[in-house]
Amino acid sequence: MGAAERRPMHAVWLIALWLAGPGNLPLWQRIFALEGTLAHRLVLLAGLGLVVTAATAALLSLLAWPRVFRPAATLLVLVAAFNTHFMWQYGVVMDPTMLANVAHTDVREVRDLLSLHLVGTVLLVAGPPLWWLWHRPVVSRVWWAQTGRNLTGVVVGLLVMVGAGLASYQGLASLMRNHKDVRYMINPLNSVYAATRVAADQLPPQVRTLQPTGEDATLGASYATQVRPPLLMLVVGETARAENWGLNGYARETTPALRRWQEQSGLVNFPQVRSCGTNTQVSLPCIFSPLTREDGGDKTPTQENLLDVLQRAGLAVLWLDNQSGCKGICDRVSHASTSELNLPGLCEGGECFDEAMLHGLDERIAALDPVRRARGVVLVMHQMGSHGPAYSKRTPVDRKPFLPECTSNTLSACAPEQLVNAYDNTIAYTDHFLGQSLQWLQQQSTEGRFDTGMIYVSDHGESLGENGLYLHGVPYAFAPDQQTHVPMVGWLSPALQQRSGVSIDCLRQQAAARLSHDNVFHTVLGLMDVSTQARDNALNVVAPCRS
Rounded to an integer, what distance in angstroms lies between the CA atom of residue 318 and that of residue 331? 11
Nearest distance from residue 394's CB to Zn ion, in Å?
12
- Using Cβ positions, the residue closest to Zn ion within the complex turns out to be 280
Cross-strand pairs, 457:
236, 488
Nearest distance, CB of residue 100 and Zn ion, angstroms: 13
Q: Of the two residues 238 and 304, which places its CB atom closer to Zn ion in the complex? A: 238
Q: Output the smallest distance, CB 405 to Zn ion, in A.
A: 21
Q: Closest approach of Cβ 373 to Zn ion, in Å?
A: 30
Residue 362 DSSP class: H
CB-nearer residue toward Zn ion: 254 or 280? 280
Nearer residue to Zn ion within complex by CB, 286 or 414: 286
CA–CA separation, 167 and 154 (whole Å): 20
In contact, 117 and 85? CB cutoff 8 Å: yes
- C-beta of residue 163 within 8 angstroms of C-beta of residue 45: no
Distance CA 303, CA 323 (A): 24
Of the pair 61, 323, the CB lying nearest Zn ion is at: 323
With CA atoms as reference, report the closest residue to 254 among 243, 262, 266, 264. 243
Map residue 457 onto helix, strand or coil: strand
Give just the sign of the alpha carbon dihedral 287, 248, 395, 341.
positive
Minimum separation from the CB atom of position 242 to Zn ion (A): 15
Q: Among residues 11 and 434, whose Cβ is nearest to Zn ion? A: 434
19's CB contacts (< 8 A; 6+ apart) are: 52, 53, 56, 76, 77, 80, 129, 187, 188
Comparison of 150 and 280: residue with beta carbon closer to Zn ion: 280
Angstrom distance (rounded) from CA 80 to CA 186: 9
Residues that bind Zn ion (CB under 5 A): 238, 280, 459
Q: Compute the least distance from the CB of residue 105 to Zn ion, in Å.
A: 11
Q: How far is CA 119 from the centre of its chain?
A: 25
Residue 386 CB, nearest approach to Zn ion (Å): 9
Nearer to Zn ion, 518 or 529 (CB): 518
